[in-house]
Amino acid sequence: MPGTNLTREEARTRADLLHVDAYDIELDLGTAREGGTFRSTTVVRFTATTPGADTFIDLVAPGVEEITLNGTALDPASFADSRIPLPGLAAENELRVVANCAYTNTGEGLHRFVDPVDGETYLYTQFEVPDARRVFASFEQPDLKAAFTFTVTAPKGWVVVSNSPTPQPTGDGDTQVWAFEPTGRISTYITALIAGPYVGVFDSYENGDQKVPLGVYCRPSLREFLDAEAVFEVTKQGFDYFQEKFDFPYPFAKYDQLFVPEFNAGAMENAGAVTLRDQYVFRSKVTDAAYEARAATILHELAHMWFGDLVTMEWWNDLWLNESFATFAEAVCQAEAPGSKWPNSWTTFANQMKTWAYRQDQLPSTHPIMAEINDLEDVQVNFDGITYAKGASVLKQLVAYVGQDAFFQGVQAYFKRHAWGNTRLGDLLGALEEASGRDLKAWSKAWLETAGINVLRPSIVLNTDGEIESFTVLQEAPALPAGAKGEAVLRPHRIAIGLYELADGETLVRTDRIELDVDGPRTEVPELVGRHRPAVVLLNDDDLSYAKIRLDEDSLAVVTEHLGAFTESLPRALCWASAWDMTRDGELAARDYLSLALSGIGRESDIGVVQSVQRQVKLALDAYTDPAWREEGLGRWAAAAEEHLRGAEAGSDHQLAWARTLAAVARTDGQLDLLAGLLDGTAEIKGLAVDTELRWTLLVRLAATGRADEAAIAAELERDNTAAGQEHAATCRAARPTAEAKAQAWAAVVESDELTNYVQEATIVGFQQADQRELLEAYGAKYFAAVKGIWETRSHEISQQIIGGLYPALQVTQATVDATDAWLAAADPAPALRRQVVEAKAGVERALRAQAADRAAGGR
Ligand SMILES: [Zn+2]
């Protein structure tokens, strides 16, 4: 029984057999306000290379009313197991399917949301990976492209947006009809429909004769917070930059961006109708890092219009290439586009993408970038740090290797050659080889077909005068975790070495930079021989390659004392990342990482880096410190947070970041009194706006520490009775330190499927409180009793939230590891479920090792 799965082999067979011309899809959303189901009528025309052959079309729906193939009615009861069998194809075929499809509350298929502010219903689709079939009968695989014509019946007065420009609706009853023009030939997973009383703001991108209509939409209850001008500004910078670098005009008729509720991912690259999570419409003050992240997402989706939508992977094994390219493109555009507000985007890339990639690449589930994707279940758990972040890091390395001009020349040829078609990795590499003249086969094998991270270490020998007698870059093979796929290899690295001097004991300034190829276990660097030893030697300066970097002992000593003294943000970010990596590996004790953070963070100007370090310190304290020392470490960190909060510039991003940090860790009566005072207005920090979101941040901590009860939570929800408010209230309720609160949260998530994706996630976040380990201890056994049933009965997104979110990660004990192993042995879980549980267990095992290192440091 295939269930909702589809194997690569099945997809290949079907692609060999079929050519799909067009879909006509009629959706009756007149039922949207009531919910339940909606009527979906699909007419699909396609040819078959082998007349007489059989195939099937995909559909996930509560019921089918009619199936007509080439004029012959088929038994609707033949619809089973998410498929409709299509026997005895003709050379040219027309299939009509009438189905009752379901609205969802999981963010998959056609999501239905009711805004508590206005009581109105808002719909949007999310189809990647295989969920177009929840809305219309479809050949659900990326290489069966077709033209799509949507005709939508919806309540009068609604806004209806799809891939093609929105037509004037017709009809004057309670519902109207929107008849869209056909799309170009695109894949099912990037078709889209967004419908409801959304509000739009409009502009256009103009360049010579070209004029592309632009729209930005959100719910009316968020309209006052929508800074559409800022969205348009970044969008236009992206249009300019990508059109020039890709040498290919934007391929669709218009470009709408819709901020939609309860969206699972950051955004989705539907052709010409991008959906984005509506937390990107900021209701309260956020730091500049949030604006930067939103701009990156906007550029990421825009890059997909070419890479992904115009030219599409044949099968999901090249998902990495799709996502890596868009992730690389967002960063390079921010770094280089004229007028960009975030020219330091490579610092953010090092700080976030690299950290994500390094973490994922050391899990037992790590895999080569070119993953084996045998079926849909494989790909659904593969939207990971390898696919996005390591892939993008390796593309950055490829650009350093072939040169940026050659890289974009190759990309230009690729778009021209494959427009509206499907490709494999080899098609892009071939174009890059032609443009660069470099043979990429060995490069591709070393970087794309193997797993893990190399370590690069400097080996510096000085003569008696303190000059460098020899300088060697040592490369180590990745330490692959047991059970990881792939072999551990050394790789060719194009890197820069930065030499830094401490000027006046105040600033660390780069005095020289050498770029070279590192290959094999030892690479001599003769250029540095005979030179005076600088204060800091930084391997992989400018972050060109993908490797763990270790500092030599002298450099580490300077950095530990003067991390904030680098005048540039990127080397600081690289050193922060290196220190964090050493902490995770148990090479730096968590308490020493705390000392490093306490000494350096005050001088860190990059707010994104500050916020990352704040999160990492909290994680180090919760998971990586010796439990016997943990409370002391948390106390020091909380005291520092309060001091920084009080000392920060009024109204600054740093002030807000420290307020949130204190709210996450406050533990003394004085600190909790301060939170309570900020909330009720009896305390003030000059310049700190205690706005809607910050109020909830304060209240979560007060609820978790027993200082705010149900009445206080209900009162706050009355102040902010919005969807976001309901989510925060769910977090607060689940965070309360009582057995009843935990039991209620557990039941709501595990024993019922009524919570929406967002409320469920909010409940899980509240449930898992690091200070409540004893209260949560009993839930480890409950987790293992429930997890397989969750996987089998819930949708993919919902079960993924639960499996990862409710794992007993806070119980950092050998017993947790043993219980996990026992469950793995007894439950014999499906590979995708196994992977998620094994990844969670790896977090506990890593924490146990780090705690041992921290304990040893405590005894020294
Ligand atoms: Zn993407």
Query: How many Å lie between the centroid of ligand 1 and the Cα of residue 334?
Result: 16
Q: Ligand 1 centre from 147 Cα, in Å?
A: 22
For position 498, what pLDDT does the model report? Answer: 97
Write down how long the chain is. Answer: 860
Q: How far is CA 19 from CA 47, 175, 739, 793, in A?
A: 5, 35, 59, 34
CA 664 to the chain's CA centroid: 23
Say what the pLDDT of residue 209 is: 97
- What is the arrangement of strands in the sheet containing 255-260, beginning at the earlier edge strand? 199-207, 210-218, 255-260, 273-277, 267-268
Per-residue pLDDT, 379: 87
Interval 40-74: pLDDT, tens: 999 999 999 999 999 999 999 999 999 999 999 99
Contact 179, 185 (CB under 8 A): no
Specify the pLDDT at position 630: 97
* Residue that the structure tokens 């499996």 belong to: 803
Q: Give the per-residue pLDDT at 850.
A: 97
Q: Convert the pLDDT of each residue in 447-478 to its tens digit.
A: 999 999 999 999 999 999 999 999 999 999 99
The CA distance from 853 to 860, in Å, is: 11
Q: Which of 189, 130, 185 is nearest to 10 (CA)?
A: 130
How far, in Å, CA of 857 to CA of 860, rounded? 5
558-570 pLDDT per residue, tens: 998 898 899 999 9
Q: Is the pLDDT of residue 336 over 60?
A: yes
What integer is the mean pLDDT of 287-305?
98
Model confidence at 859: pLDDT above 80: no
Average the pLDDT over 16-29 and give the result: 98
Is residue 555 a contact partner of residue 460, using CB atoms and an 8 Å limit? no
Query: How far, in Å, are 184, 310, 319, 740, 791 from residue 272 at the CA level?
Result: 11, 11, 20, 48, 34
Mean pLDDT rounded to a whole number for the chain: 96
CA of 638 relative to ligand 1 center, distance in Å: 37
Tell me, in angstroms, the distance from the centre of ligand 1 to residue 612's CA.
Answer: 22
CA atoms lying within 13 Å on the CB side of residue 10: 17
User: What average pLDDT does the segment 196-221 reach?
Assistant: 98
Catalytic residue among 269, 301, 330, 761: 301
- 1 pLDDT more than 70: no
Q: DSSP assignment, residue 731?
A: H
**Strand, helix or coil at 221?**
helix
Question: Is 777 marked active-site?
Answer: no
- Here the tokens at position 801 are 């939230």
Distance CA 619, CA 625 (A): 9
How many angstroms does the Cα of residue 504 sit away from the middle of ligand 1? 46
In 519-667, beta strands by DSSP E: 522-524, 536-541, 548-549
Query: How large is the average pLDDT for residues 324-333?
Result: 97
Q: Which whole number is the average pLDDT over 374-379?
A: 89
Q: What are 700-746's pLDDT values in tens digits?
A: 999 999 999 999 999 999 999 999 999 999 999 999 999 999 999 99
Cα of 268 vs centre of ligand 1, distance in Å, is 7
- 860 has a pLDDT exceeding 80: no
What sign has the CA pseudo-torsion 416, 417, 420, 424? Answer: negative
Model confidence, pTM = 0.96
d(CA 312, CA 144): 10
Residues 6+ apart with CB under 8 A from 365: 484, 835, 838, 839, 842
Residues 191-215, mean pLDDT to the nearest whole number: 98
Q: What confidence tier does 2 reach under pLDDT thresholds 50, 70, 90?
A: low
Nearest CA to 306 out of 204, 417, 399 is that of 417
**pLDDT over 60 (residue 674):** yes
- Asked if pLDDT for residue 357 goes beyond 60, the answer is yes
pLDDT for 519 beyond 70: yes
Contact status, residue 310 vs residue 223, Cβ threshold 8 Å: no
CA–centroid distance, residue 380 to ligand 1 (Å): 14
